[in-house]
Amino acid sequence: MVDLLPEPLALWQHVEATARAHFRRAMVQEIRTPLLEVTELFARGIGEATDVVGKEMYTFLDRGERSCTLRPEGTASVVRAALEHGLLSQGPQRLWYSGPMFRYERPQAGRQRQFHQIGLELLGQASPRSDAEAIAIAWDLLQDLGVQGLALEINSLGAPEDRQAYRQALVAWLRQRAEALDPDSRQRIDTNPLRVLDSKVPATQALLADAPTLLEALGLESAARFGQVQALLQELAIPFRLNPRLVRGLDYYSHTAFEITSDQLGAQATVCGGGRYDGLVEQLGGPPTPAIGWALGMERLLLLLSQQQTQPVEASAPQACVLSRGAAAEARALQLARRARSAGLRVELDLTGAAFGKQFRRADRSGARWALVIGEEEAAAGRVRLKDLRGEDPEQLLEAAAAIARIQATQPPAGGGTAKLA
């Protein structure tokens, strides 16, 4: 699991703010669910035979002897919460979430045991248009962020009946070639044959080139539906590629499945994955409810953004530094910093009590333009000395309010000030 330190977090915050604004414009509301759920939610929702449930979950007994799991993904929790609070009886829900997920995987670049996702769930929508909208929201968010070199791949997993028929055909085909498969894939023939298609083993991938595909197995209705989704994407000018071998790792998907991948990420190429999961709500005890959603991996997205360095991230240097020395001055300096911050300025307060020379050197290094200085003399006069550290303005002895106003007049405020104390 990874610590996130202040410097890289500037880019995280930029991504989060962009996503938040993007969802707001698309009228998608945020939902936050607990990190911990009863294990059964994932066993039932995701499926026992999946890698996530079978091998990757952090599961333990709590003090009440209940089996709990750190959430490995967001969808099952969002559906549980929507059901528990009766949201679905209020009509279709458009929800997004962000936060940490936990999977016991082999850590490597773009793969951690605690990682972060931003996800979207559209609950209660069945139309091909909702598939296209969900995909467009993901695609446009990544465009907004300036990510380059992305490719959208789509497939249809069909209706459950289509999948059942395909499953049989695939199992028969795989059984004939069991010898040539890698051990993991061989084992999956009986537990989760569709997942064999997703194998990352090159020899298995090569063998699968001739395997029957899901697309060939789609019934007429499913095929027509998939055709509509593709036509809509074409109308939206969102480029895509059909990938008949694309299956999602979790059991609850049907019809449209998609991934957005990058050629810059090596083996961990998928930035965003999603699809339709019409069976899940019912499987978790709710009424039959169509749904589609996706989740994007923050760490992989951040890897891409930091490689591309296209983002102007908001400045973090202070606008002013408050320097003081002597008991009376120091108390006034604390209040001055507070007033300036509440007026919306980014203000660093020097708490060292060091000689002014040292404080000035630190202020210089901080990147601030202004120093607000209170020594014994200024404290006694109830004033503050305003110094332009870049030497363009003459030094002035001012009331606190006037000094703050002078700084505001030269630099746009950082925003977020309450102006209560100003």
Smallest gap from Cβ 365 to ligand ATP, in A, equals 36
Q: How far is CA 99 from CA 10, 90, 96, 286, in A?
A: 16, 26, 11, 25
To ligand ATP, the closest distance from the beta carbon of 279 in angstroms equals 17
Comparison of 116 and 341: residue with beta carbon closer to ligand ATP: 116
CA 277 distance to own-chain centroid: 20
**CB of 265 vs ligand ATP, minimal distance in Å:** 9
Cβ distance to ligand ATP smaller for residue 298 or 329: 298
| CB neighbours of residue 403 within 10 Å | 23
Distance in Å, CB of 111 to ligand ATP, minimum: 4
Q: Which residue is nearest to ligand ATP (CB)?
A: 297
Supply the minimum distance, in Å, between the C-beta of residue 268 and ligand ATP. 6
Q: Torsion angle, CA of 337/343/344/349, rounded to 10 degrees?
A: 0
* Nearest residue (CB) to ligand ATP, 117 versus 130: 117
Nearer to ligand ATP, 122 or 322 (CB): 122
Torsion angle in degrees (nearest 10) through CA of 160, 166, 171, 177: -150
Whichever of 269 and 397 has its CB closer to ligand ATP, that residue is 269
Both tokens of 360, joined, read 């000035």
Instruction: Quote the distance between the C-alpha of residue 418 and its chain's center.
Output: 29
Choose between 105 and 144: whose C-beta lies nearer to ligand ATP.
105
DSSP element (H, E) containing 140? helix 128-144
% helix / strand / coil in the chain, to the nearest 5? 45, 20, 35
- Nearest-approach distance from CB 356 to ligand ATP, in angstroms: 49
Q: How far is the CB of 117 from ligand ATP (least distance, A)?
A: 5
CB of 101 to ligand ATP, least distance (A): 7
- Looking at the Cβ atoms of 243 and 324, the one nearer to ligand ATP is 243
Q: What is the dihedral sign for C-alpha 275, 50, 263, 304?
A: positive
**Inter-residue contact 353 to 371 (CB < 8 Å):** no
- Phi/psi at 130 (nearest 5 deg)? -70, -30
DSSP string covering 331-375, please? HHHHHHHHHHHHTT--EEE--S---HHHHHHHHHHHT-SEEEEE-
Closer Cβ to ligand ATP, 111 or 177, answer by number: 111
The residues that touch ligand ATP, with contacts defined as CB under 6 A, are 73, 103, 105, 110-112, 115, 117, 249, 268, 270-273, 295-297, 299-300
Q: Residue 35 in contact with residue 77, Cβ under 8 Å?
A: no
- Nearer to ligand ATP (CB atom), residue 111 or residue 186: 111
Paired residues of 151 in beta bridges: 261
| CB nearer ligand ATP, residue 296 or residue 343 | 296
Torsion angle (degrees, nearest 10) of CA 30, 43, 159, 135: 30
CB of 421 to ligand ATP, least distance (A): 43
Least distance from C-beta 187 to ligand ATP, angstroms? 18
Q: Can you give the C-alpha Rg of the chain in angstroms? A: 28
Question: Cβ-count burial of 355 within 10 angstroms (0-12 exposed, 13-18 middle, 19+ buried)?
Answer: exposed
Residue 110 Cβ, how far from ligand ATP at the closest point, in Å?
Answer: 6
The nearer residue to ligand ATP, 146 or 249, going by C-beta atoms, is 249
Q: Are strands 370-374 and 384-388 parallel, antiparallel or unpaired?
A: antiparallel
Q: Is 65 helix (H, G, I), strand (E, B) or coil?
A: coil
